[in-house]
Amino acid sequence: MEENRNEMTDTSAKTETTGAEGIELNTDENAAGTTHLNAAVGEESEMEKLKDALEEEKKKYLYLFAEYDNFRKRTAKERLELNQTAGKDVIVALLEVLDDASRAEAELTKKGLEKDAEGVMLVFQKLRRILQQKGLKEMESKGLDFDADKHEAITEIPAPTEALKGKVVDDIEKGYLLHDKIIRFAKVVVGK
C-alpha cells in the first residue's frame, strides 16, 4: 500500500488538476510541448523573415533589370541619332555651296546656256542627290503660312494678292532639314 502511495505521489507530481474544471495537465509533457511550440513559432518567424528578404531581393533585381533595359534602349537611340547626324557639320558647311550652285544654275538658265553648261548642271544635280541620300531635305516655304518655328522673316512687303497675306511671298535663303530636324531656317519675305 505504501508503494501505491509513493506511486500516487509520483503521479501527482506529474499531473496537476486545475480547479473545478478537473482538467489534468501533465507538466512534463506541457513543458516539452511548449518547447516544440516555441520552436515551431520561431521557425515560422524565421521563414517569414526569409520570405520577406527574398521578396525584397526580387524587387531589387526587377528594378535593376528595368534600369539596365532603359539604359540599353537609351544608348541605342543615342547611337542611332549620332549616326544620323554624324556628318551634320559637313552638310551644314555644304549648304552654302548648294546655294551658290542653285544661283549659278538659275543664271545659266536665264542666259540660255544650259546646253553649254550641261556638265556643270550634272555636277550640281549629283551634289543635291548625294546630300539627299544622307538625309538632307529642302524646306518648301513659298506660298505657305509664315511659321516662326521654320522661317526667319527678313522683311514684310505688301501682299501682291489678298491670298498671300501672312504667307511667305519669296525665299531669300532656303531652309533645310536633316533627318526631319531643322538645320537651317528659311529666310523669307512675308506678305502683309
Read off the CATH number of the domain in which 169 is found.
2.30.22.10
Residues 70 and 58 in one domain: yes
* pLDDT on residue 108: 86
Which value, in Å, is the radius of gyration of the alpha carbons in the chain?
A: 45
User: What does each C-alpha distance from 21 to 16, 29, 30, 47, 178 come to in angstroms?
Assistant: 12, 20, 18, 38, 95
> What 8-state DSSP symbol labels residue 116?
T
Residues 70 and 113 in one domain: no
Last residue of a domain, one of 68, 84, 100: 84
pTM here is 0.56
pLDDT (0 to 100) of residue 21: 47
Q: What pLDDT does 39 receive?
A: 61
| Cα(15)–Cα(28) distance, integer angstroms | 9
What is the predicted pLDDT for the residue at 35? 58
pLDDT for position 32:
52
The answer to whether residues 152 and 142 touch, using CB atoms and an 8 Å cutoff, is no
Question: What is the pLDDT, as a whole number, of residue 72?
Answer: 95
Please tell me the total count of domains within the chain. 3
Does any domain span residue 7? no
pLDDT of residue 71: 94
Domain contains 9 = no
Q: Are residues 42 and 73 in the same domain?
A: yes
**Domain boundaries, position 147:** 137-192
Average pLDDT for consecutive 10-residue bins of the chain (192 residues)?
48 45 49 57 84 94 94 92 79 89 87 82 90 90 88 89 87 89 91 88
- Rounded Cα gap, residues 83 and 136, in angstroms: 14
